Structure 1
Amino acid sequence: MTDAAAPAAADRPWLDASLPVAERVELLLAEMTLEEKAGLLFQTMITMGEDGELAEADPAFGLPSNREYVVEKGMTHFNLLGVAPTAGAIARWHNKLQELAASTRLGIPVTISTDPRHSFTENPGAAMLAGPFSQWPDALGLAATRDAALVERFGDIARQEYTAVGIRVALHPQVDLATEPRWARALQTFGEDAELTGELGAAYIRGFQNGESFGPGAVSAMVKHFPGGGPQKDGEDPHFAYGREQVYPGGHFELHLKPFEAAFEAGVRQVMPYYGMPVGTEYEEVGFGFNKSVLTGLLRERYGFDGIVCTDWGLVNDAAIFGQPFPARAWGVEHLTPAERVLKILDAGADQFGGEACPELVVELVGSGALTPERLDVSARRLLREKFLLGLFDNPFVDAEAADTIVGSAQFRAEGDAAQRASITVLSNRAVAPDDRRQAQEPGGAQGPVAEPVEASVLPFARGAKLYLEGIAPDVAAAYGEVVSSPAEADVAILRLQAPFEQRETTFENFFHAGSLEFPADVLAHLAEVSAAVPTVVDVFLDRPALLGPVVETAHAVVGNWGASGAALLDVLSGATPAQGRLPFDIPSSMAAVEASRPDVPFDTADPLFRFGHGLSL
């Protein structure tokens, strides 16, 4: 494809906003070439240039230039990769990309999507750092609040921030049930309980999609990972060949559909199937993106879903990630060629290929007669319809100056901070005797009257206390007490830990925290040393349900978070904000209990240390 002067509006009757959307779609579809239709079916990562300019080719990520994607490949759907310093820069880049799209033969606008951008997760395979956006707890933290109204408000704020910069598709929410404690993707779920996940997932979707007013002001939500990605064999993730199997020894396949039923009721627009392949069920043993019995039989026919189905990333072609070879996640169909995989995905009932940029394969399939033009039109029609409904054909541009005012506004940041505080969950809080060394002294050094020691819980700690900190910046903590350099000097120690995970072979694998849930011996030894010197509070980032037994035995108080600033944590620990969070999953008592549990069954580890819903008030 080549650049062409934009025809007059009269030559583009589909731009007539007075016509019904269905008619506008057919008018445009009739004008499209095979190559232009094929371009619609691919959505992949894209980068922006410096300070909002269009990007040239990016060898580090193996990405072509923005121009090559839009003009030469005819693609119009992209997942924005990376973090920009300002919202205005994203908005300017978006507008330039839309100008580039407008210069093509038919001027089809681009649709920009994104993985979650509002949370603290550092996993670029599942979410983006927040950058200029307001910061909220991850989905597990939203679940810990148990507040559907708060979750819908989050979705509404995120919708306003996304649309301000031109992002119109959210590659979320993730309503998988975290029924296998070792699974690496639990952080972006709403936890282990199907009813709570369905309630909060529906609220999340309503917020993003502007309630019942889906249209130019909305963000199209893509719920994932149908039909539920939680029951992973041994807790391994199907991004990798060793984690490709999903198993259902408890016979709970249907339970994992419940949150999706709530999403359909909420009017979700798009669905992403997962990489995994079901083993030992009535369904074909191939990855869900290739699985006709699941995508057509379940999703299209049983649930009557007529929205967009976009595969998870990289089902067709092998790739390189961080310089390492990475095979296509074509589980169960590894023997097929890339073109044959494309055909099987379309035959299964999907519309779009995530993480791929090979429309020439669709052209080849139609040319050979393996794919009918009518089948191609079915998916092209759905994808065009969404662009029209989002208002992209009527006004694809955004106000770049307003973006910096809307995104990360003081109000939005304050609400995100409040959600962080509301999600923090106090799990244990032991009583400790007062330290006689710090009794008040009378002038001249004579000891004054000493009250009988009275035991009190370590939390909340007193404002002005001497604080020894690990994982909290001293300048943040200065507002709460006097920061000291050693446990021996402190009244209370506060240590922030990451839930444990096993180191794997490649960089990309280590973004997916998997394996044992036991804390390393050196971490526990250090905790014991600090706790022996001073009352100690341990805050754990629980992206997975860590084995907290040894921590609870040693520390004087234990707290869980799912994305919270140091200030948010200290507000709760000092009592400035009430502790409200409740566990969104069980905390197992041992690895033996985890290994004996059934991956598809919630709350299945024997004698958990803390149960779903546990949380202390201060």
Structure 2
Amino acid sequence: MEVIQLTEQQLISLMKQMSLEEKIAQLLQLATPFFEGAKSEGRITGPMASMGITENMVRNTGSILGLTGAEEVISVQQAHMRNNRLGIPLLIMADIIHGYKTIFPIPLALGCSWDAELAEKCAAIAAKEAAVSGVHVTFAPMVDLVRDPRWGRVMESTGEDPYLNGEFARAFVRGFQGRDLSGDSDRVAACVKHFAAYGAAEGGRDYNTVDMSERQLREYYLPAYKAALEEGCEMVMTSFNTVDGVPATGNKRLMRDLLRNEWGFDGVLISDWGAVKEMIPHGVAADEAEAASKAIHAGVDIEMMTSCYVNHLQQLVESGLVDEALIDEAVLRILKLKQKLGLFDNPLRGANVESEREILFCGEHRQAAREAAVKSCVLLKNEGVLPLAKEQKIALVGPFAQNGDILGPWSWLGSQEEAVQLYEGFTRIVEPLQVAVAEGCGIESASEEQWKAALEAAQNADVIVLALGEHSDMSGEAGCRADIRLPEIQRQLIAALKPLNKPMVAVLFNGRPLDLHGIHDQVGAVLEAWYPGSEGGTAVAELLYGLANPSGKLTMSFPYAVGQVPVYYNYFNTGRPQGAPDAQVRYVSQYLDIPNEPLLPFGFGLSYTSFSYGEISLSSEQMTVEQPLHIKVRVTNTGNQPGEEIVQLYVRDMAGEVVRPVKELKTYRRIKLMPGESHEISFSLTERQLRYHHADLQYISDAGEFAVYVGPNSRDVQELRFTLMK
């Protein structure tokens, strides 16, 4: 069906019919209970009750947060269209982060697949389920670069590398939005977040201060946001943190000068929940009026869940402190997005009760979730314990043996009751009599009965599989932890079972890299399952029994101890690096009690087969601006089963104008090899890939010597040198 498109002039004409009060209300986003037709209508409690929201404001509000389900969306939108004087539909937004009803692995896990096409497919399915349920916009992808696993929101990111994060940012946007939002009601508009540098919050503590140089901001933290916008992302969300001493939501230099003017972004900019008013406790606004003024001058179009705009902008305009043109440009951007989504033609868009029943959590989507979970798990250790044999007797022990809390934070309509638990996954492969299951302990506590049952189950087993991890509330927003070890009771469970001298496998369900002491050193195999989603139990069981071969690789380093944090692969060398030939033993940059290096590096991940790398070769020892360098390496599957390897290429500028990282990922290749099969990988490296932000922020390369590294992870690499001639 052809969608009726309003021209920009028609949208401007519509805006001119609006009163100043109506225009300002378009900039307000409220939660579902404020709206007629919602099941939770009138349940306005706590902070919402003190917002000073009038019935007239609700009638003219531009967008709604958290409404979902086709029936309720239709009810609310129809009521709103009756009540709104000019018939301007609501934008309906929600946090569809890694699935709607069908839940996929958390983004950090999807990052570990190193498979952008897979991420795009997952986002497209999430969009389809959300759209048929009436959602127009998802607050995703989150592309914040993360280096501190104490921060709970690392689970929403794809890791510590700017290049890889950018590749996934593009993939998620393509998946959510497709090619034509107005013509494809199975897609939703994407909102990249959190702009900017939220992942660098001090101490890994949510909402905390961020302070860094502009060069570091541009070099590491901004590229993934820019990648999402280059892919056509329709919206941007401000971050809670400060940037150069100014909260992002009121940061004119960041939002107006960089995002709007330098990058040319003319889409909708929305605050995070309450972030406009939070400029008051930040200490940069004396009151709500000043907060509103700073946000609108910074270019924030939509204020989420505070009422500074609707309560103060009109007076600010009338007193001459805010130019009405700022409000007009924000309203026009919002109207353009509604037009692009086809809402003026069909305010209900894709919402369809019958189709919703058929599409949500359907078999095809669940199969995709299983495949994603298989590719996202990372085998961290294996001393010949895995894969399990079907004839072995298994003791499946631990708080996640029969636990549906494997979806992770931001699982929207995902159901823990419907998630495939690990024990269920086992019994789809082997007879239940082969698996003795016992909880052993809770996530943070244990009873004598639990302890006794675990020991009894383990006594008669050939292999003990420990299902361990964090409760989902231990990750996600406000899920920050100073101690990133597994809870002590779970480590005690391992210690109690160790004297049985049975082979032990640890399966970890969690949302961050952990300090693995008491686990990695005590068991024969470790599989990092993350929060694997709705089909997690099936996927993990298939991996443990060898019906699938692990292929995931870490996109965030696992620290040796929390005292190293932040620890990441692309660090700067020092003037006194550890291990330098002429260095004194003590007076180098090091810890006295732990290694400098992480326990497990970026890019690391094992397989049930083995891969050997031939010697790498360069097409030339010199590169020019016009002539790229070609790097070749032959990779062979030297094991006895098919497997996928992720071949990684890194570069180092040996003498830059400013200090450069010891390694930087530039590209990678996924290959699938049968036993005995070899494949020659050829990478192309261009001068453009060697550019970086210099001290004056010019984005250029340096003539001189470079190192190129190729290998299965950032640590175990071969090295050759070349020279860039300019």
Most deviating of 530-539 and 137-146: 530-539
Is 2:183 aligned against 1:183?
no
1:235 touches 1:599 (CA, 8 Å); kept in 2?
no
Structure 2 counterpart of 1:532: 499
Q: What are the equivalent positions in structure 2 for 1:78-477 lying under 5 Å apart?
A: 78-80=64-66, 90-103=69-82, 104-116=84-96, 118-119=98-99, 130=100, 133-211=101-179, 215-217=183-185, 218-238=187-207, 243-247=208-212, 251=216, 253-278=218-243, 283=244, 285-317=245-277, 328=278, 330=280, 332-357=282-307, 359-397=310-348, 398-430=351-383, 457-469=384-396, 470=398, 471-473=400-402, 474-477=423-426
Distance 1:223 1:501, change over 3 A: closer
- Counterpart of 2:459 in structure 1 is 488
Q: Is the 8 A contact 1:270 1:310 kept in 2?
A: yes
What is the aligned partner in structure 1 of residue 634 from structure 2? none
Q: Measure the CA separation in 2 of the matches of 1:387 and 1:22.
A: 12
Deviation at 1:225, TM superposition (A): 1.1
CA distance in 1 between partners of 2:572 and 2:329 (Å): 38
Match of 2:11 among 25, 29, 33: 25
Structure 1 residue 522, shift from structure 2 partner? 3.5
TM-score (norm 1): 0.79
Moved more, 183-192 or 475-484: 475-484
Query: In the alignment, which residue of structure 2 is the partner of 1:126?
Result: none
Any idea what the Cα deviations from partners look like across 1:239-298, whole Å, max 9, x if unmatched?
xxxx234445994553211111211210111111211113xxxx4x11111101111121
Letter in 2 for 1:551: I
What is the alpha-carbon distance in structure 2 between the residues aligned to residue 539 and residue 60 of structure 1?
Answer: 41
Residues 1:60 and 1:541: Cα distance change in structure 2 (over 3 Å): farther
SS of 2:466 mapped into structure 1? strand
Q: Secondary structure at the match of 2:372?
A: helix
Q: CA deviation at 1:608?
A: 1.1
Instruction: Tell me how far 1:215 sits from its aligned partner.
Output: 4.6
Q: How many residues align?
A: 532
Deviation at 1:76, TM superposition (A): 2.6
Structure 2 Cα separation of the partners of residues 464 and 60 of structure 1: 57
Deviation at 1:117, TM superposition (A): 5.2
- Give the whole-Å Cα distance in 1 for the aligned partners of 2:543 and 2:494: 21
SS at 2:428 equivalent = coil
Per-residue CA deviations over 1:346-398 (Å, capped at 9, x if unaligned) read: 11121111222452322232233322221110100000110011001101222
CA contact (8 A) 2:34 2:58 kept: no
Deviation at 1:180, TM superposition (A): 2.2
Cα distance change, pair 248–608 in 1 and its aligned pair in 2 (3 A): farther
CA distance in 2, matches of 1:17, 1:607: 57
Structure 1 match to 2:590? none
Contact preservation (8 Å) 1:38, 1:360: no
Change (3 A) 1:252 1:37: closer
Which residue number corresponds to residue 592 of structure 1? 563
Q: Which residue does the alignment assign to 1:57?
A: 42
More displaced stretch, 20-29 vs 359-368: 359-368
| C-alpha spacing 1:146/1:165, structure 2 compared with 1 (3 Å) | same
Residues 159 and 165 of structure 2 are in contact (CA less than 8 Å); yes or no, is this contact kept in structure 1? yes
Output one character per residue of 1:438-495: Cα deviation in whole Å (capped at 9) or x when no partner: xxxxxxxxxxxxxxxxxxx111111243222221224443234422252112222222
- Structure 2 distance, partners of 1:383, 1:42, is 11
Q: Determine the C-alpha separation between the residues in 1 that align with 2:360 and 2:573.
A: 39
CA distance in 2, matches of 1:502, 1:54: 26
Q: Using the alignment, how far apart are the partners of 1:142 and 1:509 within structure 2?
A: 16
Larger strand proportion, structure 1 or 2? Answer: 2
How far, CA to CA, are the matches of 1:80 and 1:601 in structure 2? 40
Partners of 2:460 and 2:386 lie apart in 1 by 18
Q: Give the aligned residue type for 2:506.
A: V
- Aligned residues of 1:425 and 1:615 also touching (Cα < 8 A): yes
Q: Is the 8 A contact 1:48 1:93 kept in 2?
A: no
1:228, 1:21 → 2: CA distance?
A: 36
For the residues of structure 1 that align with 2:391 and 2:45, how far apart are their CA atoms? 49
Deviation at 1:496, TM superposition (A): 2.4
Query: Following TM superposition, by how much is the alpha carbon of 1:601 offset from its aligned partner in structure 2, in angstroms?
Result: 5.6
Tell me the secondary structure at the aligned position of residue 395 of structure 2. strand
* Aligned CA-pair RMSD: 3.1
For the residue of structure 2 that corresponds to 1:56, the secondary structure is coil
Q: Which runs of 5+ in 1 are unaligned?
A: 1-15, 85-89, 120-129, 318-327, 431-456
Contact 1:427 1:558 in 2 (8 A): yes
Structure 1 residues 146-179: Cα deviation after superposition (integer angstroms, max 9, x where no partner):
1111111112112211110110101010011112
CA contact (8 A) 1:246 1:276 kept: no
Q: Alpha-carbon deviation of 1:562? A: 2.5
Higher mean displacement: 342-351 or 332-341: 332-341
- Deviation sequence 1:289-315 (CA, Å, 0-9, x none): 110111112111111111111111112
> Which of 506, 519, 535 is matched with 1:551 structurally?
519
The answer to whether the 8 A contact 2:557-2:569 is kept is no
Q: How far apart, CA to CA, are the structure 2 residues paired with 1:603 and 1:468?
A: 46
Q: CA deviation at 1:603?
A: 11
Within the candidate set 447, 460, 469, 1:498 is matched to 469
Equivalent position SS for 2:272: coil
Shift of 1:602: 9.2
- Which structure has greater helix proportion? 1
Q: Is the 8 A contact 1:545 1:585 kept in 2?
A: yes
Runs of 4+ residues over 6 Å off in structure 1: 67-71, 500-503, 602-605
Q: Offset of 1:333 from its aligned partner?
A: 3.2
Structure 2 SS opposite 1:230: helix
> Partners in 2 of 1:147 and 1:19 — Cα distance?
36
Identity of counterpart residues, as a percentage?
29
Q: Give the SS at the match of 2:152.
A: coil
Report 1 or 2 for greater relative contact order, CA contacts < 8 Å, sequence distance ≥ 6: 1
Name the aligned partner's letter for residue 531 of structure 2.
G
SS of 1:224's partner is strand
Structure 2: where are the runs of 5+ without partners? 403-422, 439-456, 575-594, 609-726
Could you tell me how far 1:68 is from its partner in structure 2? 6.7
* Separation of aligned partners in 2, 1:606 and 1:500: 30
SS where residue 497 of structure 1 aligns?
strand
* Offset of residue 47 of structure 1: 4.9
Deviation of the 1:316 alpha carbon: 3.6
Name the CA shift for 1:289/1:337 in 2 (closer, same or farther; >3 Å): same
The separation in 2 between residues aligned to 1:196 and 1:246, in whole angstroms, is: 23
Corresponding residue number in structure 1 for 2:408: none
Q: 1:61 to 1:497 in 2, by over 3 A?
A: farther
CA distance in 1, matches of 2:471, 2:361: 32
Give the letter aligned to residue 23 of structure 1: Q
Deviates more, 1:186-195 or 1:408-417: 408-417
Give the drift of 1:569.
Answer: 0.9
The alpha-carbon distance between structure 1 residues 160 and 213, as it changes in their structure 2 partners (threshold 3 A), is same
Query: Normalized against structure 2, the TM-score is what?
Result: 0.68
- 1:569-580 aligned within 5 A: 569-580=540-551
CA–CA separation in structure 2 for the residues paired with 1:526 and 1:236: 29
